[in-house]
Each structure stands twice: as C-alpha cells, then as structure tokens.
Structure 1
Amino acid sequence: HRNSKIEPCPSRVPYPSTKRQRTEEEPSEAAPPPAPAPTPVRSKIWMPYGDIILQAESTQFRINRDVLARQSSVFKDMFVIPQPPNEPTIEGCPIVRVFDSAKDWELLLEVLYHPFHSSVSRPVPVVAAMLEDALSRLHFEFPTTLEAWEDTEGVLSKIQPQPGAYIDLMHLILQCRVYSCIPTVILAALSAHRLEALVKGVRRADGSMARLHIQTFTRLVLALERITDFQRNWTLSWLKDDTIVPHKLCKSRKLCDRQKKQIDHLILWGNGHDVSYTLEGWNEEWSDKLCGVCEATAKLSYDTGRQKGWELLPTFWGYKEWKSLRDAL
C-alpha cells in the first residue's frame, strides 16, 4: 500500500554482521579494473625554448615559466615550490601538473603567447606593417655587415634596452628563425654578460629572470671556445708574433717588446670570457704603449683579424657563411 510505513527489522539492529568488512586493500573480485590513464598529448602551445611542461588533464604545454610568473604572484609562487627528486622530465624540462581543464589553460596561454589572436581583428596591411616593423628593428640592431654593426656601437636603440633583453631577444630570434640576426645577437649576449651570469640568469626590471634554454647555453659554450681560439690566432696574434712587435724597423725594440708582454698579461688576466677582441675596434690605449712603427703593424694585424672574425662569425654558432643565413619569415 502506498501509505504503509515499513519499519526496520529490530532483530538486525543491535547485532553487527559477523562477515569481515571489505577494505580498500581487498577490492571485490567483481569490480572492473581501473581505466588506464590517457596518454599525454602535446598541445599546439609548445615553445621550443620553453623551460617547463604544464600538464592539464592529459594535455601538455611547453612554456617559459617566466612568462607566467610575470603575470601573477600565484604562478610565481607555484614555480618556487621544489619538484620531488627523480621526477620524469621531457627534453630536460620538469613536468608540473595543474588541476584546471586543458581548455582553460589553452585559452590562457593563447592570450599570453599570441595576444593579437585575442584582440580585435586587424586588416592585413596592418598585420604586415607590424611584422615588417618588428623585423626591421631586429635587422637594425643585429645587421649582416661589419660596417652596420659598428654603427650600432654595441647598444640597443630601436629596441628598449632592459636587463636580460639580449637573452630574451636571442630566444625570440631563434624561435622565429630570423637566421640572419643569430650571429650578432649571440655575440651581443656574450659581450653584455659574463658566462656566470648566463648560467644563473639575468634578473629583469620586474624581478623575473631571463634564463637561457639548456640547448642554447650549450651552443654558447661551444661558440665561446671557438671565439677564444679565433682571437688567439687572429686579432691577438700580434702579441705572440715577434715579427710584428717589435717590428724590424722599431727604434725601441726592448721597450715595445716589454709593453707588448704587458698588454698580453692584462688581456690574459682580465675577463677570461672576453669576446670583444673579435669585432671591437683597436684599443687606443695600446697605441700609447707602442712606438709608431709597431703600432701601425699591430693595428694592421688586428684589423685584418676583425675582418676575418666577421667572415667567420656564423661558423662560431655552427652555421655556414653569411649568405646561407636566410630568414624564415
């Protein structure tokens, strides 16, 4: 009857079952096996020079942690938490699992990495002008001729100079495959920062860190070795060549020889990773230490080395000659 009230059986209330209760360690034989975890897949947001992998659900995003850390203290604090030892990595990048949906992360990262996708539409000529402007600034700062490089005087003028800018520009140029700018942007980064600073990273004005990707750093170390050998055999070869200084026409051979050894000593005990003797002009302080004849022959040797340095610059980074560097954009 619909209104009948069913009372519990009183004989079953005070007496618990004598059957041993099932525990979590003893699953029912009839219980279906757990479904296998889905295989992680790469999202379209996969930065080749990213330094961390975010995994949302089964989707992985390779990003630069500094990009997120600059947006929010929450992200910054998240990356400060040390990862457990022996955790798996992908291409040397640690994996951080996040709990929002993959779609939410895709939308967020799309805004951060492709902000123009999320803004109002723009006419094709405007987009073309923006791209042309960006490339022209990069080509101005990092040209393909020694004369144009000398005109920059080694400082940024069309791009705002900020702490860590050369590291960020290096990543940008490598990611966008603006190949013609690669030799000089890497040289600029090595000129602006000691190797120790490049290892630890450079702090930007907002407190975040500009860091080199491990693959880029490896290339820099190899290039630095090639540059050191080049400088010893070309631009600075006059310091070891007794036919250049002291020259056979020198009227003060002992003095010039002593001054040459002093210059060599100062260079040797200066910045051990100094790349300035590859392309920078003759140091006028050296002229004050040498007689006119020795100065002229040493300067000629040095300038000949600079021209050779510019010619070989792409090879220091593993490329061929300049004309082989064609931008992908």
Structure 2
Amino acid sequence: MDSQSPLKRPRTEDDPSALPFTRSKIWYYDGSIVLQAEQTQFRVHASLLSAGSTVFKDMFELARANVDAQVEGCPFVQLYDDKAEDVELVLAALYDRNFYKTQGKDFAQVAAMWRLGKKYEFDELRDDAKRRLECMFPTTLLEFQSRWYTHPHAPTSQIHPYAGLVFEVINLARDTGFLSILPAALYLACSTGVDHRVVQENILVGLPDERGGRIHLSTADKNLCILATSDLLRKQWELSYTWVPEVGRGCGTVQCRIVRDDFRDSLGPIHGMTALNPTSPPLKGRLSPCSRCLSLRNTGWVSGQAALWDQLPSIFNLPSWDEIKKEMLRYAQPVNSSCPSKFFREVSRSQPTHNSNTTFYSRQYNIFLEQPFCSMYSMTLLAQLTDPRRVSRLLKMPHLPS
C-alpha cells in the first residue's frame, strides 16, 4: 500500500472539473478497481469486495464494461454520499484477517460497519456492528442493568468508551433508523451528571469526542432530552419511591418512621438519575429499619424500575417496546431485499449508451436505497431502470446528458 496527494483523476462527462483527489493509504498496486469517496481514492481488489458484497459485485460488472472511466488502467467507481473515513475503515476491516478476533472496537469503525454494511450488503460487518450496539444498548431492563451497573466494564469489550459515546450512538441511530438502541441510549444521555443541572449543561454544550472536539446532539434531541430529564426525575419519585411513605406505617415501630423521614430528607429537591440502578438506596441513618420495611423497599424499588422501563420509549416519543421489537425482527432478517443487487444485475444485462454509466448508476443506487418502497420493487420496474433517462424520471432526478 502507498499514499500520496494531491493528484487529479481523469476528466469525465459527469465531472468536468476533475477536482484534485487524495490517494488513501489503502492503495494496492496490484489492485483491480479504484473507488472514490469524497475526494479520496482507494485501489483495492474487486474479488475481495465482491466476495463480501453482492452490491459491489454487480457494480464492478458495470465498471469493467465502462472503458471511459479508468484510473491507472483500473475500472473506476465513484461512491456517492459515503464518507471517505467510513470507506477507509470498512476496507481496513475487510483486509484485516484478525479483525473479528479483537473484542473492543473504536466507535468510528463500528459506525462505518453499520452504515456501509447495510448499504452495500456486507452481511458480516453489518451483523457484527449490530451485535455490538445492541449488546451495549439492549431492550430489556435486566440486560441494561447488567451492562451498565452490575458489570460496568462490560460495554468496553464491545466499543471503546469515551465521554461523548452515548451522544454519538444517538446520532448514528437517528441517521440510520436504528430504533431499538435509542431508548437505552437516550436514558443514558439524561444520566451524564451527578444531578439534573449538570446533565442539562452536558446536553446543551455537548460532550468530548475522540478527536479532542465536542459531539453534539441534534437540536430536536437536545430539547427532547432536557424535557425528558425532568420527566424522568418526576417518574423516578412516582414509580421507584412509592414505597417510602409506607415505611414505618404497617410495622408500628418508631425507628422505621425515623428512618423514613431521614431518607426522605436526604433526597432533597435535586438528586441524580438513579431510577434504573439495580442497587436499592440504603435505608440507614441514625437507626436501622425492620426486616419488613427493608423487604418493602426492595420490592417497591424493583417494581418501580420495571414500570419506568416500560414507559421509557414513550418518555422519548418512541414507539412501544412491542413495536421496537418487531423492528428488531425485521433487522434480524438477511438484508436480502434482493433489490440492490437486482438493480445492478438488471442494468448490467442491458447495454446502456451513457458514457459514464457506472458513475451514473452508483449515484442512482444511492437515491434508489432511499425509496420507502425499495424492498417491494418488481422486476418489471427494475427492467425500466436500464435506461438512464427512465431512472432519472422514476427517481425524480434531472437526467444526465447522453
């Protein structure tokens, strides 16, 4: 591999300006295809990418037929709307034989695996990223408590931690529609400080990222989390502390009533987010409560946490847990909507006259994936996509000159 910059790529009909590009460190001189994301080019082996992605396999078939778009004698493919950093991280993973043997990954790599794994049907990469994210941000209370409280170092075996990780995960989930990890991630975003004032400051000014900058939530999620923090604190008292007035009421002992009053005074008007912490708050001060009141505390704490967890999605304006789990089942199915690969298979069977057909179809594929009905495309409609003007019309894009 080698890297150098800046260079220029050949002029094409799609890109008359021939902007300068940077050669990535992933540049194999015996590579058989050149990819470009943003202004960075990668020379890689088409056979390696084709083995893991049917989308790339079919895209490369088009690229080989297009002799007008080549770099150093290799077919050239422009990847639209993909970040160069994401492409480099995914390619590095594909070339790393020990990639799946290492446990903890950087978030940037996991995010790239999820984004591009979904888009280009790299099933192994996508599934690995999905497993890591769902392990850290589960949909059940017991798993959540185990990951973040009982075994607080467990998440580090999946993704390396840093202050702004939760904010990064929320942004990724929003961008890619990864619904199931949002309730847990949003709750943690509302628990980033010792009290709600620190939490709200963190939400407003952001948290440190891995590069020395700050990661921010979207404006909508900032507003959502600020409102949810107050809501969670209120529900924390209403659901998780319902047992407090009952302490000392049924047992008739003076010491339990004293314990109850001491505990209530210790909470104060402002306290941190402890609603989902499996460790029950201590009921000890000047005196110790009786066994009945301790049992009352334990039972009330557990039932209150379960009730709060059930309400977590609605607090963040998300669908119910049942709907979220249905979405998880959909994601659990192989991505094989077959449409992405059929898209390129159909156009490769035709003989498009457009001089830069590979670049054109790469761009159209990106738009194609955004269609809500993509997974239901019929072969009849796909057959029409062999004509660039029909593609443009169907996807409501201005057609390119022939």
Contact 2:209 2:215 in 1 (8 A): yes
Please point out which of 111, 115, 122 is paired with 2:87.
115
> Matched residues in 1 for 2:164 and 2:93: separation?
32
Distance 2:290 2:92 in 1: 67
What corresponds to 2:248 in structure 1?
Answer: 246
Answering whether residue 130 of structure 2 is matched by residue 129 of structure 1, we say: no
Maintained 8 Å contact 1:231/1:237: no
Contact map agreement 2:233 2:273 (CA 8 A) in 1: yes
Partner of 1:58: none
Paired with 2:93 and 2:189, the residues of 1 have a C-alpha distance of 36
**Shift, 1:186, TM fit:** 0.8
AA paired with 1:129? E
Q: Is the 8 A contact 1:187 1:275 kept in 2?
A: no
For the 8 Å contact 2:166–2:188, the answer to whether it is kept is yes
Report if the CA contact (8 A) 2:189-2:225 is conserved: no
Kept after mapping to 1: 8 A contact 2:167/2:216: yes
Is the Cα contact below 8 Å between 1:144 and 1:180 reproduced in 2?
yes
Structure 2 residue aligned with 1:78 = none
> Percent identity among equivalent residues?
17
TM-score, normalised to structure 1, is 0.58
5 Å-filtered alignment, 1:246-285, equals 246-250=248-252, 252-253=253-254, 255-271=255-271, 274-277=272-275, 279-283=276-280, 285=282
The answer as to 2:205 corresponding to 1:200 is yes
Match of 2:219 in 1: 214
Superposed counterparts of 1:5-20, under 5 Å: none
Given that residues 167 and 210 in structure 1 are in contact (C-alpha distance below 8 angstroms), is that contact kept between their aligned partners in structure 2? yes
Which has a greater percent of helix?
2
Are 2:223 and 1:223 equivalent residues in the alignment?
A: no
Return closer, same or farther for 1:108/1:248 CA change in 2, 3 Å cut-off: same
Q: 1:108 to 1:296 in 2, by over 3 A?
A: same
Q: Deviations over 1:221-268 (max 9, x none)?
A: 2222321221121111222x2xx2113224x32x32222222222222
Q: Is the 8 A contact 2:259 2:284 kept in 1?
A: no
Once residues 182 and 233 of structure 2 are traced to their aligned partners in structure 1, the CA distance between those partners, rounded to angstroms, is 19
Gapped runs of 5+ residues in structure 1? 1-105
- Of the three residues 138, 163, 171, the one matched with 2:133 is 138
Question: Which position in structure 2 is the counterpart of 1:286?
Answer: 283
The DSSP-based 3-state class of the residue aligned with 1:237 is coil
| Alignment deviations for residues 17-43 of structure 1 (CA, whole Å, 9 cap, x no partner) | xxxxxxxxxxxxxxxxxxxxxxxxxxx
Q: 1:294 to 1:126 in 2, by over 3 A?
A: same
On the 8 A contact 2:138/2:180 being kept in 1, the answer is yes
- Judging changes above 3 Å, is the alpha-carbon distance between structure 1 residues 260 and 114 closer, same or farther for their aligned structure 2 residues? same
C-alpha contact (below 8 Å) 1:111/1:118 kept by paired residues: no
Alignment deviations for residues 101-140 of structure 1 (CA, whole Å, 9 cap, x no partner): xxxxx98974346425995997999811010000001110
CA radius of gyration, larger in: 1
Partner of 1:92: none
Alpha-carbon spacing, 1:215–1:175, altered in 2? closer, same or farther (3 Å):
same
1:230–1:309 contact (8 Å) kept in structure 2? yes
- How many angstroms apart in 1 are the aligned matches of 2:80 and 2:121? 25
- Output the CA distance in 1 between the equivalents of 2:91 and 2:278: 46
Structure 2: stretches of 5+ with no match in the other structure: 1-77, 96-116, 194-198, 332-402
Moved over 6 A (4+): 106-109, 120-126
TM-score by length of 2: 0.48
One-letter amino acid of the counterpart of residue 137, structure 1: R
1:183-220 deviation digits (Å, cap 9, x = unpaired): 10111222234221221111234320011211101111
Show the counterpart of 1:322: 321
Q: 1:233 to 1:283 in 2, by over 3 A?
A: same
What code does the residue aligned with 1:267 have? Answer: L
Separation of aligned partners in 2, 1:164 and 1:146: 23
Question: Structure 1's 118 and 131: CA in aligned 2 closer, same or farther, altered over 3 A?
Answer: closer
Aligned position for 1:187 = 187
Alignment partners' CA distance in 1, 2:89 and 2:264: 55
CA deviations 1:243-296 (Å, max 9, x no partner) are x2113224x32x32222222222222553xx3222x212435226742222111
Assess, with a 3 A threshold, how the Cα gap between structure 1 residues 107 and 129 changes in structure 2: closer, same or farther.
closer
Q: Which amino acid aligns with 2:277?
A: E
Equivalences for 1:4-43 in 2 at 5 Å?
Answer: none
CA contact (8 A) 2:280 2:298 kept: no
Give the count of matched residue pairs.
216
Q: Residue 286 of structure 1 aligns to a residue in which SS?
A: coil
Per the alignment, residue 303 of structure 1 pairs with 302
